[in-house]
Structure 1
């Protein structure tokens, strides 16, 4: 296209032909070589569709680039929205999970405390029962020894034996 003149250049040459044409005396008219002017006009007409076609190709290419850019922008916006939604959902999932974990932890701590109290109560009642049985057994042993001492006349020995044995005190 560097060797070929553009339509604009050809029109500029045609204008110069007319501008440099010999003027007719006492008139605004001029004398132009009809063949040269018609040839120049035909050349412009002949190459005008090529340049229009090239211009249209450039316009079409620019429209294609614009459409491609708009499609890319739309894709980027769509991806950004999806990512934002994903992050929002992830944040919501994390928030719900943290709330659920807190609730489960609180319930587990409350249940553990209740079990601890129940266990402590059970152990205390068993120990009280054992203490009562132990107290009754101690009482029965003392009573049995007293009866044995009375029956065997072991009072003298009993006094001596009682002094040697440690005394068991009742808890209650």
Structure 2
């Protein structure tokens, strides 16, 4: 910034100037100081315009940064909400899976018991039928051998 440098040079010139005895005045080379002030006058509008531009850019940069920060925060909130929802969904799914599995196990055990009872009753019926069939077969064989039940009873009485 030329303005600042030239102002500092003017201040240094006044500070380094010879003092007038018994007063607050000093002796300064008029042409040197006027040249410095002219340089300041010429460069002031350019430097002021640059400073205003920088100030505007600063405000735009800060505004953009705030927008980006807000967007990042919103994105993070959405991600957290998604993860929480996903965790809830997974937890609910596991609970439901465990419930269904327990229900299936209970139903399977109940079905197994019913099937066992049915098979046992069918086997018992078959056993009765087979026993009757064996009795009929035995009686038929006895008849074929000529051994009659009445005849066997009469021999027992003798």
Query: Is the structural similarity TM-score above 0.5?
Result: yes
Matched, 1:52 2:48: yes
1:78 equivalent in structure 2: 74
Q: Deviations over 1:114-161 (max 9, x none)?
A: 111111111111111111122222333444555x46xxx9239xx9xx
Matched, 1:154 2:150: no
Describe the shift of the 1:11–1:118 C-alpha distance in structure 2 as closer, same or farther (beyond 3 A): same
Residue 44 of structure 1 and its aligned partner are, at CA, apart by 2.3
Aligned ranges for residues 59-70 of structure 1 at < 5 Å? 59-70=55-66
Bigger relative contact order (CA 8 A; separation at least 6): 2
RMSD: 3.3
Structure 2: distance between partners of 1:155 and 1:139: 15
Structure 1: distance between partners of 2:133 and 2:16: 147
Residue 51 of structure 1 and its aligned partner are, at CA, apart by 1.2
> How many residues align structurally?
149
TM-score normalised according to structure 2 size: 0.71
Residue 29 of structure 1 and its aligned partner are, at CA, apart by 3.8
Describe the shift of the 1:21–1:131 C-alpha distance in structure 2 as closer, same or farther (beyond 3 A): closer
Q: Which runs of 5+ in 2 are unaligned?
A: 153-158
1:109 equivalent in structure 2: 105
Query: Which structure has greater helix proportion?
Result: 2
TM-score normalised according to structure 1 size: 0.66
Describe the shift of the 1:134–1:25 C-alpha distance in structure 2 as closer, same or farther (beyond 3 A): closer
Structure 1: distance between partners of 2:124 and 2:19: 141
**Which has the higher mean CA deviation after the structures are superposed, 44-53 or 119-128?**
44-53
Q: 1:89 aligned to 85, 89, 94, which one?
A: 85
Structure 2: distance between partners of 1:92 and 1:23: 84
2:156 equivalent in structure 1: none
